[in-house]
Amino acid sequence: MLTWTAYGLAVVLNAFIIFIGVRFLLVPRAAAAAYGVPAKPDGDAAYLSVKGVRDLTYGVLGLALIAFVGAHAAAWFMLVVALAPLGDTVIVLRNGGTKAVAFGIHFATAVVVLLSAALLFAL
């Protein structure tokens, strides 16, 4: 049961970050608004694309580690990648986003990613 839970949560988290990355590439302004800091209408769209590529890459790397290397490597990856949503929490707070989005989305995501790491380490 633990194996299915650990791998299942890790796969879902990585698939979700792939979805977010693709969303930032396809509909960057809507994705930025959902992130918690809306993009400026005259802002540089390249930065939104950078976010999309970053998230897409993290998700693909996470799935590759699960598929080809195993739980221990995936656990270390999840532990390290938890820094991204923690950083996103700070970014939202420092740029006029709401505490609800910062903590309810980004910080909560970091906690779930850390839980995923702990489950993978337990295998």
Per-domain residue ranges of the chain: 2-121
**What CA–CA distance (Å, rounded) separates 46 from 53?**
10
pTM of the model: 0.93
DSSP string covering the chain: -HHHHHHHHHHHHHHHHHHHHHHHHHSHHHHHHHHTSPPPTTS-HHHHHHHHHHHHHHHHHHHHHHHHT-HHHHHHHHHHHTHHHHHHHHHHHHTT--HHHIIIIIIHHHHHHHHHHHHHHT-
Residue-level pLDDT, tens digit, the chain, 123 residues: 889 999 999 999 999 999 999 999 999 999 999 999 999 888 778 999 999 999 999 999 999 999 999 999 999 999 999 999 999 999 999 999 999 999 999 999 999 999 999 999 999
